[in-house]
Chain A
C-alpha cells in the first residue's frame, strides 16, 4: 500500500502543471472573488454601505413632556415620579435609536437620511435606499408608558425593505431586532429599579447597543475567509479527478495490467488511491489556508484550538476526496474510459461547488437547492468550516461532518464493488 502511495504522490509531484492548477488556481480565485464580491457577506461591514431612509412621525420632546405630565396627574408618589421623569429623559427610545444608528461602528456601513414618507417611498422604489425605517406617531409616548409604567401595548418600529432576501436588508433588520431586544432588557431593569425605588445608573442604557459584533450571535465571516473556504472545498474535489486521471494514464500505458499481474488485491491498489488523494487534499487545504492567512490575513494564526479544528474538518474532507478518487478510478477501469473523469472535472465539480456555496452563499439560494448543497461533501464541509469559524463549537460541526464521513464510506464501498480484477478486454 505504501508503495502505491509513494508512487502516486511522486507521479503527481512530477506533473508541474497539474500541481499549479491545484494550488495556484484556487488562490488566484480567492483573491479575485474575495475582492470583487466583497459586501455580499456580513463580515465586510465597510463594504455593505447601506442607505436607509428614516421617516419620523414622532415628536420626541412632546412625547416626553406628555409622559411627565401624565405622571404628575396620576397618583404616583413624588419620589418615584421624579425618578421616572429622569429615566424618561435617559431611556427615550427615539434618542437611543438615533444614537445607535449614528454609532461609530454602524457609521461605516449605514447612511441614514431623514425623509418624508413620500420621498422615502420614491427612494426605495428607485433603489436609492435599501430600507425605510418608520418611527410611528407617539412612538416615544407609547414606548415610555410601556417601558416605565408597564401600561399599554408599547409601540413598534416599522421596517420596509424592497428585497427581503438581500443580505443588506437582513443585516439592518438584525440591527433593529437587536436594538429592541436590548431595549426590552433595559426596560426590565429600569422597571425593576423604579419599583425598588433605586436610581438608574446613568451610563447603563444603550452603551453596548448596536456594535457590529452584536448584529448576530455569530462571528461575522469576511469575503476572503468565505472564498478561501469556498475555493478550498471546490478545488479539493479536483484532486480526486486528477488522481483518477493518473489512474487512467496507468491504464492507457498498460502499467495497470502490470499491476494486475502482480496479483495484488484491488483493495491495495484502491487504498493507495484513497491515501494519496487524501494526503494531497489535506496538503492542498493546508497550503490554501496558510496562504490566505499570510497573504490575505483571512484567518488568525495564533490560536492552536482554531487550527486543530480546521485540521480535523480538513482530514475528514480529505478522506472523502480520497474515496471519490477511488470511485472515479474504479469507474475508469471498469469502463475502460476516462469519460467519467472528464465529465466530473468539467461539469460535476462546478455544479457541486455551486450547490455547496463556493461561489455565492447558500443562504442566498432557494431552499431546495440549499438542501442539495447540504448533502454534497464540499457543501457539508463548507458548513462545518463556517460553523467552526463562527461558533468554535465542535458539537455544531459534527452534524455536517458526519455527512461528509458517511459519503466517504459509501463511495469506498461503491469503488470496491465496481473495480475490475482483470484487464480490459
Chain B
C-alpha cells in the first residue's frame, strides 16, 4: 500500500533522515522504533506530505505522493507527537471543526464525532475544554481527531508519551482493535519496545536517521539467538564495576539500568563466575541476578550499544 524509497531529509547540511526505505502492506501493523532524535517524526512528516523530502520518494499504491499529496491526505489519518488541538475549545468543538473541514456535516458529522469519542472513551466528558483535560485524555482526543474522516491508513507518532498507565493501555487496546477488527493499516512509532512488541507484526528499528534492522518480531529476536541477556540488580550504581564489565572481552554489550547492569553475552559462555568476582572486588552488593530471553529492547542494545531510552 505504502512504500518509501531512499527517503532523505537534510536540515542545514545535517541529515535527520538518511536513505530510509520501508513499506506497509494493507492491513498490516508496523512499528517504527528508535531512540530520541532517531528521525522518526521527520520520516513521518515526509510520509504524511507535511514536509518535502530532500531526496527520495513516497509512493501510495505505486503513485508518488510528493508530486500529488492530495491522494495521500484523503486516506491518511495522522496522530502527531504533539497535542494538535485547540486547547481553548472543548473536545466536541475540536472534533466538530476537524470533521467539518474534512467535509462532513449534519447527522454524518454528529455520528462521526460520537463514534470517535466512543472509540477513545471520552463520550461523557466531550463538552469540557481541552486544556482542562489530563495529559492522557488530551492524547486520546488527539487520536480521535485523526479518525474523523475514517482513514484507511493511520500513522501514530508516539501516541503514549508521558501518560498514565490506564490511558496508555486504553490507547494500545484501541490501536489493536482498529488494526485487527477494522482492518486499518497502522504505522506505530514509539520508543517503548513493549508497545511495539504487543501491537506490531513487523518492526523497523531506526537510529541516527537510518534503518538499522527490520523484520518480524521473531526475525529480529533471532539476531540474538546466539546470545542471552543477564540482568544484575545492585543496591546502588557502581561506575567502576560497570566500566570493568563493559571492557570484558567476553561481554558483547553492557548497559547501566536504573537498578543495575544489563549484559549481553554469547550463549553458553560461563562468565557468571568472573562477574561475581568483579562485583566482589568493587564491594558491590548483588541483590538479584536474572538470565532472560531477549526482548526487542535487547535487540536495540545489541545493535547500537545503547538503550532505547537514555
Give the residue of A14, A253, A264 whose beta carbon is less than 8 angstroms from that of B84: A253
Chain A CB within 8 A of B100 CB: yes
The reply to whether A253 and B87 form a contact with Cβ atoms under 8 Å apart is: yes
| CB-CB nearest in chain B for A7 | B97
Contacting residues, chain A, for B85 (C-beta < 8 A): 253, 255
Give the residue of A15, A254, A425 whose beta carbon is less than 8 angstroms from that of B80: A254
Q: Which of A263, A424, A425 has the most CB of B within 10 A?
A: A263
Chain B CB within 8 A of A257 CB: yes
Give the residue of B51, B78, B82, B145 whose beta carbon is less than 8 angstroms from that of A253: B82
Chain B CB within 8 A of A11 CB: yes
Shortest beta-carbon distance from A13 to chain B in Å: 9
Give the residue of B50, B74, B100 whose beta carbon is less than 8 angstroms from that of A260: B50
The reply to whether A423 and B51 form a contact with Cβ atoms under 8 Å apart is: yes
| CB-CB nearest in chain A for B105 | A3
| CB-CB nearest in chain B for A3 | B100
| CB-CB nearest in chain B for A4 | B101
The reply to whether A257 and B88 form a contact with Cβ atoms under 8 Å apart is: no
Known contacts: A422-B51, A422-B52. The answer to whether A258 contacts B86 by CB under 8 A is no
The reply to whether A254 and B82 form a contact with Cβ atoms under 8 Å apart is: yes
Chain B CB within 8 A of A261 CB: yes
Known contacts: A261-B50, A261-B78, A263-B73. The answer to whether A14 contacts B88 by CB under 8 A is yes
| CB-CB nearest in chain B for A14 | B88
Contacting residues, chain A, for B145 (C-beta < 8 A): 258
Contacting residues, chain A, for B51 (C-beta < 8 A): 422-425
- Residues 2-29 of B at the A interface (beta carbon under 8 Å): 11
Give the residue of B78, B84, B96, B149 whose beta carbon is less than 8 angstroms from that of A255: B84
The reply to whether A3 and B50 form a contact with Cβ atoms under 8 Å apart is: no
| CB-CB nearest in chain B for A263 | B73
Contacting residues, chain A, for B96 (C-beta < 8 A): 3
Known contacts: A15-B88, A258-B78, A258-B80. The answer to whether A3 contacts B49 by CB under 8 A is no
The reply to whether A257 and B93 form a contact with Cβ atoms under 8 Å apart is: no
The reply to whether A10 and B93 form a contact with Cβ atoms under 8 Å apart is: yes
- Residues 1-22 of A at the B interface (beta carbon under 8 Å): 2-4, 6-7, 10-11, 14-15
- A257 to B85, alpha carbons, bound, how many Å? 11
Q: Mark A307-351, 1 if CB is under 8 A from B, else 0.
A: 000000000000000000000000000000000000000000000
| CB-CB nearest in chain B for A421 | B69
Give the residue of A6, A11, A262 whose beta carbon is less than 8 angstroms from that of B88: A11
Q: Is the interface on chain B under 10, 10 to 19, 20 to 34, or 35 or more residues?
A: 20 to 34
Chain B CB within 8 A of A171 CB: no
Chain A CB within 8 A of B48 CB: yes
Contacting residues, chain A, for B48 (C-beta < 8 A): 261
- A253 to B85, alpha carbons, bound, how many Å? 7
Q: Mark A237-275, 1 if CB is under 8 A from B, else 0.
A: 000000000000010011101111111100010000000
- A250 to B45, alpha carbons, bound, how many Å? 17
| CB-CB nearest in chain A for B42 | A425
- A340 to B83, alpha carbons, bound, how many Å? 25
Shortest beta-carbon distance from B14 to chain A in Å: 13
| CB-CB nearest in chain A for B77 | A261
- A253 to B88, alpha carbons, bound, how many Å? 12
Known contacts: A10-B89, A11-B89. The answer to whether A262 contacts B52 by CB under 8 A is no
- Residues 85-117 of B at the A interface (beta carbon under 8 Å): 85-89, 93, 96-98, 100-102
The reply to whether A263 and B45 form a contact with Cβ atoms under 8 Å apart is: no
Chain A CB within 8 A of B76 CB: yes
Shortest beta-carbon distance from B151 to chain A in Å: 10
Contacting residues, chain B, for A15 (C-beta < 8 A): 88
- A424 to B76, alpha carbons, bound, how many Å? 19
Contacting residues, chain A, for B11 (C-beta < 8 A): 425
Contacting residues, chain B, for A7 (C-beta < 8 A): 86, 89, 93, 97
| CB-CB nearest in chain B for A256 | B84
- Residues 32-72 of B at the A interface (beta carbon under 8 Å): 45, 48-52, 69-70
Contacting residues, chain A, for B45 (C-beta < 8 A): 257, 423
| CB-CB nearest in chain A for B79 | A258
The reply to whether A262 and B98 form a contact with Cβ atoms under 8 Å apart is: yes
| CB-CB nearest in chain B for A423 | B50
Q: Which of A11, A15, A254, A259 has the most CB of B within 10 A?
A: A254
Contacting residues, chain B, for A255 (C-beta < 8 A): 84-86
Q: Mark B168-210, 1 if CB is under 8 A from A, else 0.
A: 0000000000000000000000000000000000000000000
Shortest beta-carbon distance from B192 to chain A in Å: 21
The reply to whether B89 and A257 form a contact with Cβ atoms under 8 Å apart is: no
The reply to whether A258 and B98 form a contact with Cβ atoms under 8 Å apart is: yes
Give the residue of A254, A257, A259 whose beta carbon is less than 8 angstroms from that of B101: A259
Give the residue of A4, A253, A422 whose beta carbon is less than 8 angstroms from that of B83: A253
The reply to whether A263 and B84 form a contact with Cβ atoms under 8 Å apart is: no
- Residues 343-374 of A at the B interface (beta carbon under 8 Å): none
Contacting residues, chain B, for A262 (C-beta < 8 A): 73, 98, 101-102, 149
Q: Which of A253, A262, A422 has the most CB of B within 10 A?
A: A262
Shortest beta-carbon distance from B53 to chain A in Å: 10
Shortest beta-carbon distance from A336 to chain B in Å: 12
- A262 to B104, alpha carbons, bound, how many Å? 12
- A423 to B41, alpha carbons, bound, how many Å? 13
Contacting residues, chain A, for B78 (C-beta < 8 A): 257-258, 261
- A262 to B89, alpha carbons, bound, how many Å? 19
Give the residue of A10, A14, A253, A422 whose beta carbon is less than 8 angstroms from that of B50: A422
- A254 to B85, alpha carbons, bound, how many Å? 8
- A259 to B86, alpha carbons, bound, how many Å? 12
- A2 to B103, alpha carbons, bound, how many Å? 11
Shortest beta-carbon distance from A149 to chain B in Å: 83
28 contacts between A and B (CB under 8 A): A3-B96, A3-B97, A3-B101, A6-B97, A7-B86, A10-B93, A11-B86, A15-B88, A253-B83, A253-B87, A255-B84, A255-B86, A257-B45, A257-B80, A258-B84, A258-B145, A258-B146, A260-B49, A260-B50, A261-B48, A261-B78, A262-B102, A263-B69, A263-B70, A422-B49, A423-B51, A424-B51, A425-B51
For the A-B complex with A257-B80, A262-B102 known, give 6 more contacts whose Cβ atoms are closer than 8 Å.
A2-B100, A6-B97, A10-B88, A258-B78, A263-B74, A423-B51
Sort A-B residue pairs by CB-CB distance and give the 4 closest, nearest first.
A3-B100, A254-B84, A14-B88, A423-B50
